Structure 1
Amino acid sequence: MEFRHLGRSGLIVSEISYGNWITHGSQVEEDAAKQCVQAALDEGITTFDTADVYAGTKAEEVLGRALHGVRRESLEIFTKVYWPTGPGKNDRGLSRKHITESIHGSLRRLQTDYVDLYQAHRFDHETPLEETLKTFDDLVRQGKVLYVGVSEWSAPQIAEALKIADQMGFDRIVSNQPQYSMLWRVIESEVVPLSEAEGVSQIVWSPIAQGVLTGKYLPGQAPPAGSRATSEAGAGFVSRFLENEDVLTRVQDLRPIAADLGLSMAQLAVAWVLQNQNVASAIIGATKPEQVRDNVKAAGVKLDADVLKRIDDVLGPVVERDPAKTVSPEKRP
């Protein structure tokens, strides 16, 4: 495993982190989830990412049990707040009330006194940004949160948060967690340049494009049984890629590139996002321990300029680059 600093902070994270969106508490049984977490630990992963909303809070509980007994100081545990965790009007968003109540719930479920990184899961248009940042700063001062970050925020939203933090003397955000892959590059034109200048890292999710970049989804064929595309939780996210046969055809054309490098398709996809030096860590998910062991082999892989050009030439027009695709709901869900 290789390691990188998170933003301009002193925190070091594993280049590949383990995330349990969709899987823990829903798609896989708890025994399988624990086996995947153990495989991640065995392979040198120290960074674990989750969120209060995943599987209706069950994902945090499963991760807490899976990590029970592991030396806390050897781990970096990340979680998030924003999406609904209950039926009430205040069980969502980034108000002082919801953030405060949510962190206490997350700490209880994760069986820890603090989280290393607490992230605003989306931008909340209904809460003053000063209120959100002040609440995060209070949690840092209370020792319940060590660092703060955001997820899927646009460049202007990140810039405004940094400006307010500097003006008010709050802890600055050190990270953003966006979707990023060979097929989804919407952060490259605005978010990454701003983040590089301001000392903010990307912790990217879906580097394998919800499994599409493994090559298992074939043009003109039904999705394989048991794949994310056939699950209730994951089908909506992967459909954007599966609806375009040109995407699936071009992904198959990446196979010779991966073969020339001695990599699996998944390893090539994860290694690709790690070539971006603003990326501190790539989040992988898994339903089987073998998937973890396969994906971690992407750590430390260097792709030269010729390889990156070959990938760009193959994918061509199917790559999504529009920065406007980074968007948070205008109203709380």
Structure 2
Amino acid sequence: MEYRSLGQSGLKVPVLSFGAGTFGGSGPLFSHWGTTDVEEARRLVDICLEAGVNLFDTADVYSNGASEEVLGQAIKGRRDAVLISTKASLPTGDGANDWGSSRSRLIGAVEKALKRLGTDHIDIFQLHAFDASTPVEEVVSTLDQLVNEGKLRYIGVSNFSGWQIMKSLAAAEKHGWTRYVANQVYYSLIGRDYEWDLMPLGQDQGLGALVWSPLGWGRLTGKVSRGKPLPEGSRLHETADFGPPVEDELLYRVVDALQEISGETSKTVPQVAINWLTSRPTVSSVIIGARNEEQLRQNLGAVGWSLTDGQIARLDAASAVTAPYPHFPYRRQEGFARLNPPLAG
């Protein structure tokens, strides 16, 4: 397993990490992701560690905390062998202080997460969304306090826009507080919006991307293809509305290219899709999920080999869309491109 620095930090993370959203699944969304119990979770953790995957990602809203609880039980007795990533900020109840990133909420959320996970520290703690109702100084100073207390080791964000990240980083810079080093983002061959603002920001400011939903909410699993209806058992029947929309022609164009390269490499469609992501600039780790051992072993096969430059170029071309203003001139006009050259991998 390849290990990479998490942004401009000293923490090394595996290029593939495991998403524990399937652990303890309940509710309209997470029950369709999976319902992995503690015994099954231990087996999946065993397989991950054998393969060198030691980073496990969860969140307090995943099945109302059950994901953190199951993960905590699954790693019991081997805490020093793993890295835990979790998140907070989204609503966990109907109370006035059951959502957001206020000092009160964050301190309470971290204490509850530590208890559910059965640990005294969280390796990577991320804000699950930007809280416009709380001053960034309050948020970042609270996270800095929790880092200084040893409860958090590294901090980051998820689902933030570029200006929201920069405003937070500016506050940290001004006051000498702990800076974000991670940005957990949606990124896939059918969702490349990350590249327009957040990727250049990440490279400039030293944020490593932790990529979630690398298979485009299940659209790039190899079960969806041009001219065929959605398979009966596909989770997309229940979860498609939770993810960003994808135009049919873009999806089928990408799937066509994936299928061709799958045949050339003797790798599966999802393995090719994940491998493409590992070659992208700023990507520190791609979070893979699995409801069972077979799915996990297949996803682990996405690394340890490389696509050719030609194959990457074909995937780039198949997945390309016109970027919104003010980004599109950079791709079309030589003068703009000279001022803003493509990012290096």
Question: Quick check: 1:7–1:199 contact (8 Å CA) kept in 2?
Answer: yes
Deviation at 1:250, TM superposition (A): 4.1
**Distance (Å, rounded) in 2 between the aligned partners of 1:322 and 1:61:** 42
For structure 1, the 5+ residue unaligned runs are: 325-333
Q: Which residue number corresponds to residue 343 of structure 2?
A: none
Q: Which residue number corresponds to residue 331 of structure 1?
A: none
| Residue 181 (structure 1) aligned with residue 192 (structure 2) | no
Q: Which amino acid aligns with 1:76?
A: L
Kindly tell me: are residues 96 and 239 of structure 1, through their superposed partners in 2, closer, same or farther at Cα, counting changes over 3 Å?
A: closer
Q: Which residue number corresponds to residue 69 of structure 2?
A: 61
Partner SS, residue 177 of structure 1:
strand
**Distance (Å, rounded) in 2 between the aligned partners of 1:32 and 1:230:** 25
Deviation at 1:321, TM superposition (A): 5.0
TM-score, structure 2 normalization: 0.86
Deviation at 1:36, TM superposition (A): 2.4
**Distance (Å, rounded) in 1 between the aligned partners of 2:49 and 2:232:** 29
Q: Which residue number corresponds to residue 157 of structure 1?
A: 164
**Distance (Å, rounded) in 2 between the aligned partners of 1:225 and 1:34:** 30
Q: Which residue number corresponds to residue 298 of structure 2?
A: 294
Partner SS, residue 209 of structure 2:
strand
Kindly tell me: are residues 90 and 322 of structure 1, through their superposed partners in 2, closer, same or farther at Cα, counting changes over 3 Å?
A: farther
| Residue 274 (structure 1) aligned with residue 278 (structure 2) | yes
Deviation at 1:300, TM superposition (A): 3.8
Q: Which amino acid aligns with 1:244?
A: D
Aligned pairs for 1:73-152 (under 5 A) are 73-152=80-159
TM-score, structure 1 normalization: 0.89
Q: Which residue number corresponds to residue 229 of structure 1?
A: 236
Question: Quick check: 1:116–1:145 contact (8 Å CA) kept in 2?
Answer: yes
Q: Which amino acid aligns with 2:188?
A: S
Deviations 1:235-254 (A, max 9, x none): 3235723x626523641342
Q: Which amino acid aligns with 1:139?
A: L
Partner SS, residue 216 of structure 1:
coil
Question: Quick check: 1:6–1:12 contact (8 Å CA) kept in 2?
Answer: yes
Q: Hey, which bits of structure 1, 4+ residues long, moved more than 6 A?
A: none
Deviation at 1:219, TM superposition (A): 4.2
Deviates more, 1:25-34 or 1:46-55: 25-34
Partner SS, residue 245 of structure 2:
helix
Q: Which amino acid aligns with 2:240?
A: A
Q: Which amino acid aligns with 1:247?
A: L
Q: Which amino acid aligns with 2:49?
A: L
Q: Which residue number corresponds to residue 2 of structure 1?
A: 2
**Distance (Å, rounded) in 2 between the aligned partners of 1:185 and 1:246:** 12
Q: Which residue number corresponds to residue 245 of structure 2?
A: 240
Q: Which amino acid aligns with 1:298?
A: A
Q: Which residue number corresponds to residue 252 of structure 1?
A: 256
Q: Which residue number corresponds to residue 12 of structure 2?
A: 12
Q: Which residue number corresponds to residue 25 of structure 2?
A: 25
Partner SS, residue 269 of structure 1:
helix
Deviation at 1:97, TM superposition (A): 0.9
Q: Which amino acid aligns with 2:40?
A: A
Give the CA RMSD over aligned residues: 2.1
Kindly tell me: are residues 202 and 173 of structure 1, through their superposed partners in 2, closer, same or farther at Cα, counting changes over 3 Å?
A: same
Q: Which residue number corresponds to residue 329 of structure 1?
A: none
Aligned pairs for 1:176-215 (under 5 A) are 176-215=183-222
Partner SS, residue 277 of structure 1:
coil
Deviation at 1:23, TM superposition (A): 5.1
Partner SS, residue 202 of structure 1:
strand
Match for residue 287 of structure 2 among 283, 290, 293: 283
Question: Quick check: 1:17–1:49 contact (8 Å CA) kept in 2?
Answer: yes
Question: Quick check: 1:23–1:286 contact (8 Å CA) kept in 2?
Answer: no
**Distance (Å, rounded) in 1 between the aligned partners of 2:156 and 2:165:** 10
Deviation at 1:297, TM superposition (A): 1.9
**Distance (Å, rounded) in 1 between the aligned partners of 2:149 and 2:111:** 12
**Distance (Å, rounded) in 2 between the aligned partners of 1:313 and 1:295:** 24
Q: Which amino acid aligns with 1:73?
A: D
**Distance (Å, rounded) in 1 between the aligned partners of 2:83 and 2:91:** 24
Q: Which amino acid aligns with 1:19?
A: G
Question: Quick check: 2:22–2:290 contact (8 Å CA) kept in 1?
Answer: no
Deviation at 1:180, TM superposition (A): 0.5
Deviates more, 1:43-52 or 1:221-230: 221-230
**Distance (Å, rounded) in 1 between the aligned partners of 2:207 and 2:199:** 9
Deviation at 1:171, TM superposition (A): 0.6
For structure 2, the 5+ residue unaligned runs are: 27-33, 327-345
